Amino acid sequence: MARSVLVTGGNRGIGLAIAKAFLAAGDRVAVTHRGSGAPEGMLGVRCDVTDQEQVASAFDEVEAAHGRVEVLVANAGITDDGLLLRMGEEQFRRVVDANLGGAYRVAKRAASSMLRNRRGRMVFISSAVALSGGPGQANYAASKAGLIGFARSLARELGSRAITANVVTPGFVTTDMTEELPEDRKNEILAQVPLARFADPEEVAGAVRWLASDEAAYVTGAVVPVDGGLGMGH
């Protein structure tokens, strides 16, 4: 049955691959963007997830067109790397506010629709770095680790209403975000990946689509790695 799906940051990168996977399955797919517009076949809503009012109006727009959001994928995220002693408070706060605060804002709004429907799926895009940590990524890793505690709390709060909340932790995925890393840093990471390659965004999308499917109805509070083995043991 076609569902109303919302993917934040679904205009490019991993989010776009996720949105396309739901579209291919026949769902009604909406994506947030900050000016780029939406790919063909999807509803685009302008929304910066750091702004509560924009989140509220984006949901209103999606729900007017597609009905109450049944699947939420909180994917929007940023990095702003730097070593701790050089990391300004604003640099720390900005990343946490986008990655963790953004997830809070969209999940809260989605939960009210899902509670009325008495079913729903939330998937949070975290990172392998949430569990392993990463040099120069204290702000990013903290925000991504925070998503795990956040999702698991929702899993407990909302589980009795058939709403699941799960986390996906991708390793290194080829997108604009990773494109900007220096070549030697990329090679350093690659050397630690048992599958000896980086992921395509579509490989993350497959796991997300499964977590939102009927087959995963009894899976909640899970942290699912899609990382080529990079995070094994964490």
Active-site residue flag, 140 = yes
Cα 126 from Cα 123, distance rounded (Å) = 9
Q: Counting contacts by CB under 6 A, is residue 223 touching ligand NDP?
A: no
- In angstroms and rounded to an integer, the radius of gyration of the C-alpha atoms of the chain is 17
Ramachandran sector of residue 11 (left: φ over 0; alpha: ψ -120 to 50; beta: rest): alpha
Nearest CA-CA partner of 157 in 220, 77, 216: 220
Nearest CA-CA partner of 7 in 116, 97, 123, 169: 123
* Minimum CB distance to ligand NDP smaller for 2 or for 187: 187
Cα 145 from Cα 141, distance rounded (Å) = 6
* Minimum CB distance to ligand NDP smaller for 129 or for 155: 129
Q: Counting contacts by CB under 6 A, is residue 139 touching ligand NDP?
A: no
* Cβ 228 to ligand NDP shortest distance, Å: 11
What is the total count of residues that contact ligand NDP (CB under 6 A)?
30
Q: Counting contacts by CB under 6 A, is residue 178 touching ligand NDP?
A: yes
Cα 197 from Cα 109, distance rounded (Å) = 37
Q: Counting contacts by CB under 6 A, is residue 89 touching ligand NDP?
A: no
Token output for 54:
């924009």
Q: Counting contacts by CB under 6 A, is residue 197 touching ligand NDP?
A: no
The residue range among 31-39, 80-88, 155-163, 205-213 that interacts with ligand NDP, by the rule CB under 6 A, is 31-39
Q: Catalytic positions, please?
A: 140
Binding region for ligand NDP (CB under 6 A): 8-9, 11-15, 32-34, 36, 47-50, 75-78, 98, 102, 125, 127, 170, 172-173, 175-178
